[in-house]
Chain A
Amino acid sequence: MYSICICHLYPDLLNMYGDRGNVIALQKRCLWRGIDIVLYDIALYQLFNPDECDILFIGGGQDFEQEIIMSDYMEKSTDIKSYIETDGTVLAICGGYQMLGNYYKTGDGKTIELPGLINIETVGTKNRLIGNLVFEWENDVTGQTHRMVGFENHSGLTYLGEGVQPLGKVLKGFGNNGQDGLEGARYKNVFCSYAHGSLLPKNPQLADYIIACAMKRKYPDAPDLIELDNQYEMQANQSMIKRILG
């Protein structure tokens, strides 16, 4: 029996825009395949044990909540770093994405130092980037491309540094910064995106890719994931693409 452990970082502080839906999607898509799930909520001041974790999820928060977690997060960051460097799987959305970077420069010039778990930088602006987002993501195992749909709402502009790949190419919307046409970030098994909505339920290929990363690391000999019926998921995905791209 296979078993995957999902750690949800600060679930009662970082959960904007239904971020929880991503955890539900990972959980259900494992269970439907007979993969057991252990779900850990990592609260403030609670230990994050990188050896027990197979997928780490980080959602976004409001400024008030992000301030609360900052010192505890900086302390945990050493363990998260070693987890990432040993190919641990991470999904980080919006504020959780920004938090992994080197720093966040606010609109009024203040710099918030961050642990630099991945080489990205974020600069705050006055205008929020809000709206439906469609981006193209390439599954580098199958070589197939898929259109991902979500909704973005952020004021930070994120720029990728050396060693970090974009998660996808923007087809409609702003993505990382509204300028370079890139959306999200990929570093080793770390997946970042500005898209909530929630992201994974409507984009099952990406959900499965993330599960497969975690499985491969924990059970190198396990067979490929079995296919699930994605009828409803693809209906939701397609209806939005049709509406947004026309």
Chain B
Amino acid sequence: MKLFATVLMVKILVKMLQIFKSGGTSLPGKLATRIYPNVLSVISRRIKIVMVTGTNGKTTTVRMIAEILEKHDFSFITNKSGANLQSGITTTLLNAMKLDGRFQEEYALLEIDEAAFKTVCPLLKPDFVVVTNFFRDQLDRFGELYTTLSGVKTGIKNSEETVLILNGDDSFCSSIGKDLPNKAYYYGTSSILSDDNDYGVTDGKYCIYCKSKYSYHHRTYGHLGNFYCPECGYRRPELVVSLSEPPIMSDTVTKIRLSVARQDHEQTLEGVIPVPGKYNVYNAVAAMTFSLAAGMELEKSMEAISEFEIGFGRMEDIAIGNKTLRIVLVKNAIGFNQVLDLFCSNNKPYPVAMIINDLIADGTDVSWLWDVDFEKLTVVQDSIPAFYASGIRGEDMMIRLKYAGLNMRKVSLIKDYIMLVDKGLKATPDNGYFYVFPTYTALMGFRKLLVKKFGIKKFWK
């Protein structure tokens, strides 16, 4: 009865919020938790739950898994990436529940904020947990990396049935499988993606168990790679799914080859991810590993990934005349480094804008800009027509670029988005791209402007 009333209330509230076009997703969940504090634990046994957490790549991995589920004709519920805290997840689940307390769908596929994981996971006791990676993120919000990691471990601790899908290349992620008795599938790379040193970011260099410095058979980026501790022997676990050859990347797609350890043989799979960027390779391998753990057909899953559409702002191409605006969200230093890598490896005469805000959703501290390797832009700057800094903290971005060694005659501060788009597109060669790297709230504002100015339809549902 209590459940019935709570579900009904959530449904009514969601409807009302939709009518009043306030896209809020947290309020109904918040109220539901107030009335029925453990409501999530009731849900746990009524639907198969897949949770995806970690610092970077959550949204993209969820999108890829969604595509895989669809391909296999499974019905599912999923939350928006903006609703990945406890309240948002509660709203999503209760709104999907029928009034008799059952679900029509077979799966609930949930992206969850790594800080909220600790409280939500013990209630939901998910069937699968996918952990992408741990990187230094907004320290003013999450606190220290090690606190976040131990929160994730605490979250899983009392759910021994939960199957873990972990990034084996990440010594933080792997330690979850080592410290907990759960069944774990590890994924990673058996070939080198790059030899970046990400010199500004210093987390994860020392062994989490004995505090000695890790060595690597190969490193991909940040602290990711085939690590081992020469002191205590902690090392990357056996991988079940691994990238077996360096991926081949173009402007728009990435070709990958995977090796899957089956009981009695090694299976090879080839596929195409419809986006560039090596960080997306990890996301695809994570999604493939989930499909293996869930007993799905791998060929079908690979096909599904090749058809997926990348999420909001993760990389959006917007055609304007014969030029393309390419928007890529930046959230933290490692992510920004990856995006810059992608931009530099193009080595084409495309302009680029960095829009930095410091509102709560962006992280109010912009110190992380100094951990980003903007110095690598100096290698390509001769062929780049223009660099732009924008956003509330555009001035900070300007000095970061100055101290990175850019020729400041090519760099300008343009706070007005309309002028920024005009100038940027003018500087873009025909059939070329104008790259825009916004932080979260900057992305929101920038998209709003595009909708207004160019009548681009809102394709974020």
Query: Is A64 in contact with B146, judged by CB distance below 8 angstroms?
Result: yes
Closest to A204 in B: B399
Query: Is A233 in contact with B365, judged by CB distance below 8 angstroms?
Result: no
B144 beta carbon closer than 8 Å to chain A: yes
Closest to A200 in B: B403
Query: Is B367 in contact with A202, judged by CB distance below 8 angstroms?
Result: no
Note all chain A residues with C-beta closer than 8 A to B200: 15, 18, 20
Task: Kindly list 11 other residue pairs between chains A and B, CB separation below 8 angstroms, not including A62-B145, A153-B139, A232-B398.
Answer: A12-B205, A15-B202, A17-B368, A20-B199, A20-B371, A62-B144, A65-B202, A130-B364, A153-B140, A196-B367, A201-B403
Q: Which of A189-246 contact B (CB under 8 A)?
A: 196-198, 201-202, 232-233, 235-236, 239-240
Note all chain A residues with C-beta closer than 8 A to B205: 12-13
Note all chain A residues with C-beta closer than 8 A to B398: 232, 235-236
Instruction: Give the docked Cα–Cα distance between A25 and B405 (Å).
Output: 11
A28 beta carbon closer than 8 Å to chain B: yes
A101 beta carbon closer than 8 Å to chain B: no
Say how far B153's CB is from chain A's closest CB, in angstroms: 15
Q: Which of B364-382 contact A (CB under 8 A)?
A: 364-371
Query: Is A232 in contact with B139, judged by CB distance below 8 angstroms?
Result: no
Instruction: Give the docked Cα–Cα distance between A64 and B369 (Å).
Output: 23
Note all chain A residues with C-beta closer than 8 A to B146: 62-64
Say how far B360's CB is from chain A's closest CB, in angstroms: 12
Instruction: Give the docked Cα–Cα distance between A151 and B369 (Å).
Output: 13
Query: Is B369 in contact with A130, judged by CB distance below 8 angstroms?
Result: no
A112 beta carbon closer than 8 Å to chain B: no
B396 beta carbon closer than 8 Å to chain A: yes
Select which of A44, A198, A235 is within 8 A of B395 by beta carbon.
A235
Say how far B172's CB is from chain A's closest CB, in angstroms: 11
Say how far B409's CB is from chain A's closest CB, in angstroms: 13
Supposing A20-B200, A130-B140, A153-B140 touch, asked if A232 and B408 sit within 8 A by C-beta, the answer is yes
Interface digits, B200-238 against A, CB 8 Å rule (1 contact, 0 not)? Answer: 101101101001010000000000000000000000000
Query: Is B202 in contact with A24, judged by CB distance below 8 angstroms?
Result: no
- Number of residues in B with C-beta < 8 Å to the partner? 33
Q: Which of A6-48 contact B (CB under 8 A)?
A: 11-13, 15-21, 24-25, 28, 44
Closest to A199 in B: B367
Closest to A155 in B: B143
Binding site for B on A (CB under 8 A): 11-13, 15-21, 24-25, 28, 44, 62-65, 67-68, 128, 130-132, 151, 153, 196-198, 201-202, 232-233, 235-236, 239-240
Instruction: Give the docked Cα–Cα distance between A130 and B74 (Å).
Output: 46
Select which of B145, B211, B364, B368 is within 8 A of A131 by beta carbon.
B364
Query: Is B370 in contact with A21, judged by CB distance below 8 angstroms?
Result: yes
Query: Is B408 in contact with A17, judged by CB distance below 8 angstroms?
Result: no
Query: Is B366 in contact with A25, judged by CB distance below 8 angstroms?
Result: no
Instruction: Give the docked Cα–Cα distance between A154 and B199 (Å).
Output: 24
Supposing A15-B200, A196-B367 touch, asked if A233 and B399 sit within 8 A by C-beta, the answer is yes
B45 beta carbon closer than 8 Å to chain A: no
Query: Is B365 in contact with A151, judged by CB distance below 8 angstroms?
Result: yes
Q: Which of B259-307 contact A (CB under 8 A)?
A: none
Select which of B203, B211, B403, B408 is within 8 A of A68 by beta carbon.
B211
